[in-house]
Amino acid sequence: MVALLLSVALAVSPSVIGKPADREALKKTMAQVIETTALKKARVSVQVVSLEDGQVVFARDADELLNPASNVKLFTAAAALTRLGPEYRFETDFLTDAELKDGKAKVLYVRGKGDPSMNTERLYAVVSELLHAGLKEVSGDVVVDDSWYDGEREAPGFDQESGDRAYLAPTGALSLNSNVVGVYLRPSDAMGGAATVEIEPASDYFTLEGHVGTGTATQRRFTVNSGLDKDKVHQKLEVDGFVPYGKGVWSAWKKIDQPALYFGNTLKRLLTDRGVKVKGRVRAAAAPANAKMLYQAQSDSLDLVLKKLQKHSSNFVAEQLIKQLGAEVKGPPGTTAKGIEVVEEMLQREVGLSRGTYVMRNGSGLNDTNRFSAAQTNRLLKAMWDKFPLAPEYMSALGIAGKDGTLKYRFEGTDAVGRLRAKTGTLETVSALSGYVQAVSGERFVFSILVNDFLGRASTVVQHIDALGAAVAATGSAGGPSAAVATLTPAPLVGPMEELKTRLKTWQAFAGKGDKKGLAFLRTSWRSERDPAVRAAIAETLYQSDPREGASVRLLLDSASAGDEVLGRLVRASRDLKAPLPLIPSLVELGVSGNGEALARLFEANRALRGDEDASKAVADGLATCANEASAEFLAALSRSPAADRDSVIESLAQGFVSQARPDAPFFAGLTAAQGSFDPALAELAKSTEVALSQRIAEAKAPALPGDASLSPVVSPTPAPPTVVPGGTR
C-alpha cells in the first residue's frame, strides 16, 4: 500500500522549482550551521540537490571521500533491488532422503539459500507445514546445508572489533533470528533470591553456565557472554551478577557463532515439541542432489526485507544481501568479494560511479572500511529516484523523520517530520544522514551529510546534522530554514532558582511513578524546554520511567552536564528542597552496568562538585560502587579521561572505599589483572592507579598527625578473593 501511494505521488505530483530567495535563505542557513557549530572543526562533506531541476542548492566539500558508516547500506539496498527485484524471495528447502513411509524419514535435510528474515515464529510455522506434509518421525539425523554461501562468517571491517555484540552477528546461508540469541533475566520475588534465566529461542544448541541474583532496587550489574563451546558444536552462554528487585524483566541479545547448527538444533526442538520424534543428532553436510522436497519456505518479498535493513540499520541483513548478490549473479557459493563486484558493476553502469573513485569493502558500513562522498551518495539517490519501478520500494524502506526506525525520535517539532526519509550512520567520530525530503514549498531534494573526526559529544553533532536536514525541509515555510534550526538548537535560557525548585519537585514526583504512558509527553517536554537544568531533570525522569529504552538513556547522557548551570543548580535546588540528589544516582546505576559514557559523566561531576561536601561524598560512594562492580569498564573510562580528572577520581575513590569500609575492594583485583594486559598503556595506568589509590587510602585512614602529613604510612592492599554474596560471586 505504501509503495502504491508513493508511486501515485511520484507520478502525479507537479514539479515545483524553488524560488531564488528560498534557496538563498537555505544556503545561508546551512553555511551558518557548519561555520558556527562543532561541525566547523570536523571533516564534512555536504550536498543538497533539487530533484526538480537538478541544481546543486548547497555544497561543502561535496567530493571529499569520508567514512559514511551505515549510509553504505543505501548502496547495498540499491544493488539488491536493481539486480534481484522487489518481488524476489529467499528460499529454504526442507527435504528427505526418500518419500515418507508411515510418516517416517531416515534423514531430514535443510538447505538454506540465505534468508535473512527467518525467525522462530516462521520456523514454528514451517514445522506445522512439515506436520501437515505427513512427517511424524526422523529416525536419523537433521542435516543442515549452508553451502549456498562460503564459510567466511565476517565481512571486512568486522575483524576490527571483537566481542559478542548482536550487531557483529555472522552471515550464513542457513540463519535464524539474525543469528542472535536472547537471554531474559527475571528477578526473584525477594531480594537475594536467584533470578530466573531463560533463553529465546529454547534450543539444544546452547549450554548455560553461571548464576544471576536479585539485588536491591538500584543494584543492576549483570553480564551475559556468548562464545563457541569447547566442543565447537554448541554455544556457551555465561551469566553473572544481579538484576534489580521489583523492576521487571531484563534482556541481553548476543551473537551466535555457528548459524547452521543454531538453526538445526532449534528446528529439532520445535519438531520434538510438536510430537515429531527425532532420534539422531544435528550435523552439517551438503544435501544430496536427489533429495526429495518435503516443503519449501519462502521469505517475504525483498522490498519488505529492505525495511529491516534500512529502518533498523541491520548489519546482518546487509552482509547477507551482499553474499546473496554474489551467489545469484556470479554463482554459488556467495562471497563478499563476488557481492561487492556486483554492486560495483551496478554503480558503474546505472549510476555512473567509476570503480576506484570510492571504496566499498562491505555492505553494512561497519568500522573503518568504506569511503564515499556526499556527491556520490546523492548521485545514487537521484538514480534510484529516476527508476520508477523501484523508487517507491527504495524510498519506503528508509526511516521517516519523527515516525519510525532510527529516525523515530529525531526532528520532533520541525517540518521534517513525515517529510524527510533518510538513512542514518553512526560510528565513533562518524555521523551521517542521507536521503530524500520534500520541503514545505513542495520542492523535493536529495541530500547527503557526512561528518568525520568531530570533537566532543556525538549527540551535539547529530543535533547539528538534524538542524541541516530540518532547514531543507523548512524551505518555503513562513519561518524559513533559520527558524527550523532555532527549533532544534534553542539558545539556553537559565531561569530563576525558585522556578527551578518548583519544576524539579514536579519532575522528581513524576519520576517516582515510573509511568510509561507519559513517555511521549516527557519527550515533548524535553524538546521544548530551554532551561538546561530542567531539561536534565526531565531527561532523568524519562530514564527512570523507561530505563530499558536506549533513547531514554541517550537523552540522560546528553543532558547531564557537569557545568554549574545544570548540575550545580540542580544540586543547590535539591538541597533547598531536601529532595534526592539529582542525576548522580541514575549515572551510578548506568555506570554499574558498565556504561562508559555514564562513567565519564561521573568523572566530570566528581571534579565539578569537589567543593560541595555532601554531594562530593555521594559521588565518591557512587564511584567506588562502579569501580567494584564494573572494574574493567571503569579503568577503560579512566584511561580516556584527562589527567586532571584521573587524579580527582582516584582521590574520591579512596574516600569512597574508606567510607564503605572496603579498602581491599574488588577493584584492586581488576587492577592486578589489567597490569597483565597486552596494551602497555592500560597496564601502566593500572599499575600507577593501584599505587596512587593505595597511598590515598592509607592517607585517608591515618590519624591526624602533627607535622608533615607525608609521614603517613603507605599501605598497598592485597587483592582479596571474590566475596560470596546472595545471588552470585562478585
What pLDDT score was predicted for residue 15? 55
Provide the residue type at 94 as one letter: F
Q: Three-state SS for 637?
A: helix
Taking a C-beta distance cutoff of 8 angstroms, is the pair 235, 164 a contact?
no
Please give the sequence-ordered ranges of beta strands (E in DSSP) within 77-230, or none if there are none.
91-96, 104-105, 108-112, 137-138, 142-145, 180-186, 196-200, 206-215, 221-228
Phi, psi of 438 (to 5 degrees): -105, 120
* CB burial readout 291-327, b (16+ within 10 A) else e: beebbebebeebbebbbbbbbebbbbbbbbbbbbbbb
The answer for residues whose C-beta is within 8 angstroms of residue 489's C-beta and 6 or more apart is 37, 463, 464, 467
Q: Supply 546's cell numbers.
A: 523507561
- Which residue in 199, 197, 203 sits closest to 123, CA to CA? 203
Cell of 414: 520541525
d(CA 599, CA 637): 7
65, 1, 29: which is closest to 486 by C-alpha?
A: 29
β 221-228/108-112 pair status: unpaired
Q: What is the pTM of this model?
A: 0.87
**Contact between 393 and 3 (Cβ < 8 Å):** yes
Q: Where does residue 703 rank: exposed (0-12), middle (13-18), buried (19+ CB within 10 A)?
A: exposed
**DSSP H or E segment with residue 521:** helix 519-528
Count Cα atoms within 13 angstroms, Cβ side, for 266: 27
The C-alpha atoms of residue 428 and residue 538 are separated, in whole angstroms, by 27
- The span from the CA of 274 to the CA of 210, in Å, is 30
Which of 333, 359, 340 lies closest to 152 in space, CA to CA?
A: 333
Sequential DSSP letters for 101-120: BTTEES-EEEEE---S---H
Region for residue 269 given its phi and psi (left: phi exceeds 0; alpha: psi -120 to 50; beta: otherwise): alpha
3-state secondary structure of 725: strand
- Count CB neighbours of 190 within 10 A: 9
Rounded to an integer, what distance in angstroms lies between the CA atom of residue 135 and that of residue 131? 5
Cis bond leading into 680, ω under 30°? no
Q: How far apart are CA 653 and CA 464, in angstroms?
A: 37
| In the block, residue with C-alpha cell 505427513 | 134
Identify the bridge partners of residue 45 per DSSP, sorted by sequence position: 450
- Compute, in degrees rounded to 10, the torsion defined by CA atoms 33, 38, 41, 45: -50
Helix, strand or coil, per DSSP, at residue 185: strand
Read off the amino acid at residue 409. Answer: Y
Strand order in the sheet with 104-105: 104-105, 137-138, 277-278
User: Which helix (H) or strand (E) element contains residue 30?
Assistant: helix 20-36
* Cβ-Cβ contacts under 8 Å for 289 (sequence gap 6 or more): none
What are the Cα distances from residue 177, in Å, to 142, 262, 274, 316? 19, 10, 20, 10
Question: How is residue 326 annotated by DSSP?
Answer: I
Rounded CA gap, 708 and 87, in Å? 82
Centre a 10 Å sphere on the Cβ of residue 283 and count the other Cβ atoms it contains: 15
Cβ-contact 701, 679 below 8 angstroms: no
**In this structure, what C-alpha cell is assigned to residue 252?**
541481553
- CA max distance for the chain: 96
pLDDT digits over 613-670, tens only?
889 999 999 999 899 888 889 999 999 888 878 899 999 999 998 887 765 678 888 8
Contact status, residue 42 vs residue 67, Cβ threshold 8 Å:
no
Contact between 229 and 235 (Cβ < 8 Å): yes
Q: How many CB atoms sit inside 10 A of residue 35's CB?
A: 10
pLDDT score, position 701: 72
Gap between the terminal Cα atoms of the chain: 54
Give residues with Cβ within 8 angstroms of 302, minimum separation 6.
80, 81, 84, 85, 86, 87, 88, 89, 393
Type of residue numbered 229: D
Half-sphere exposure in the Cβ direction for 287 (13 Å, CA): 27
Task: State CA 15 to chain mean position distance.
Answer: 39
Residues in the chain predicted with pLDDT less than 70, given as ranges, are: 1-15, 512-515, 662-664, 702-730
